[in-house]
Structure 1
Amino acid sequence: MSNITRWNPVSEFEDLMNRYNRMFGLTRNGDRDSKDVFSRSDWAPAVDIKETAEAFTIDAELPGMSRDDVKVTVHDGVLTIEGERKHEEESGDKKHHRVERFYGSFMRRFTLPENVDENSVKASFKDGLLTLTLQKAEPKEPKAIQVDVQ
């Protein structure tokens, strides 16, 4: 009688991701090995971007973080959200069996549409959700310039 092994596509995918991470010098918890191959964020928070007639709203999921861990800047039409989620301190009596959450630094950048007032950005942070509100500006009308011909 032969043994039948049940195929598990999830474990195949996890194996593939682990090999990929090892190839690029990454471990599963987002820490880097000493052979830093790329300079990139360790993870990126998920965002929702919504638009109303008056404003754009960006919601970024930052579970386990406080507002002091996050920095939001606007410069030359680019909105940047950056920060770091720190891994909890290791203790001698605790053994990790699985670490699936990502830790480390992150950066997300968004090019703002021309109809956004860069000076109107408002931010709030509650229950691990960063909400940014960007008011729309009145569209700039083209300005006609009179040319004198001599």
Structure 2
Amino acid sequence: MANLIRRTESGSMEPSRFFDPFELMRDVMRWEPFRELGMLGRHELAFVPSFEVKETKDAYVFKADLPGVREPDLEISLTGARLMVTGKREEEKKEEGERYYAYERSYGSFTRSFTLPEGVDAEHAEAELKNGVLTVSIPKRPEVKPKKIELKAELKAGEKAKA
């Protein structure tokens, strides 16, 4: 099991009682220098939710993982062919004297926008936030749904076409 190493406010590490070269190598391999560069002057990471977008035969469905986002902090709008999802996840209150050994969760405001193809039925769009997952379903108008075209059978010599 990994040892916890307490970091001071300046970012330096307190020396460990035991030197484990394998643990050191694991820490080096997980190091993300660009993430730390982006955090200069900040103590939190930006919250950017991941989306899944799919097309079914009847609708376009957008799903996003939004753990910790409350319904009042979420706004979904559809203007023309542009779907906008805006929200925020509030940082939890830090108590005096608490010490963090890892601080990897992200907080803050986010905005995601998607351009939809022609033929969406904006009047019947639906959204639901359940168990931290946002689902937005935007149906297609009936005239743009795929239609099956029947093949006409080839007539053999001497047969009459059915009317």
3-state SS, counterpart of residue 17 of structure 1: helix
When residues 19 and 63 of structure 1 are mapped into structure 2, their CA distance, relative to the original with a 3 A threshold, is closer
When residues 113 and 21 of structure 1 are mapped into structure 2, their CA distance, relative to the original with a 3 A threshold, is same
Residue equivalent to 1:114:
118
Is this contact kept in 1: 2:64–2:134, CA < 8 A?
A: yes
Is this contact kept in 2: 1:74–1:118, CA < 8 A?
A: yes
Structure showing greater radius of gyration is 2
Residue equivalent to 1:8:
25
Residue type matched to 2:54 in 1? K
Aligned residue runs from structure 1 range 47-86, under 5 A: 47-86=51-90
Equivalent of 2:139, from 135, 140, 149? 135
Residue equivalent to 1:144:
none
Is this contact kept in 1: 2:70–2:89, CA < 8 A?
A: no
TM-score, normalised by the number of residues in structure 2:
0.66
Measure, in 1, the Cα distance between the counterparts of 2:20 and 2:134.
49
3-state SS, counterpart of residue 94 of structure 1: coil
TM-score, normalised by the number of residues in structure 1:
0.72
- RMSD of equivalent CA atoms: 2.3
Worse-superposed segment, 43-52 or 128-137 = 43-52
Cα distance, 1:74 vs structure 2:
1.0
Give the count of matched residue pairs.
124
Is this contact kept in 2: 1:18–1:28, CA < 8 A?
A: no
When residues 93 and 19 of structure 1 are mapped into structure 2, their CA distance, relative to the original with a 3 A threshold, is closer
Identity over aligned residues, as a percent? 28
When residues 64 and 19 of structure 1 are mapped into structure 2, their CA distance, relative to the original with a 3 A threshold, is closer
Q: Gaps spanning 5+ residues in structure 1: where?
A: 31-41, 140-150
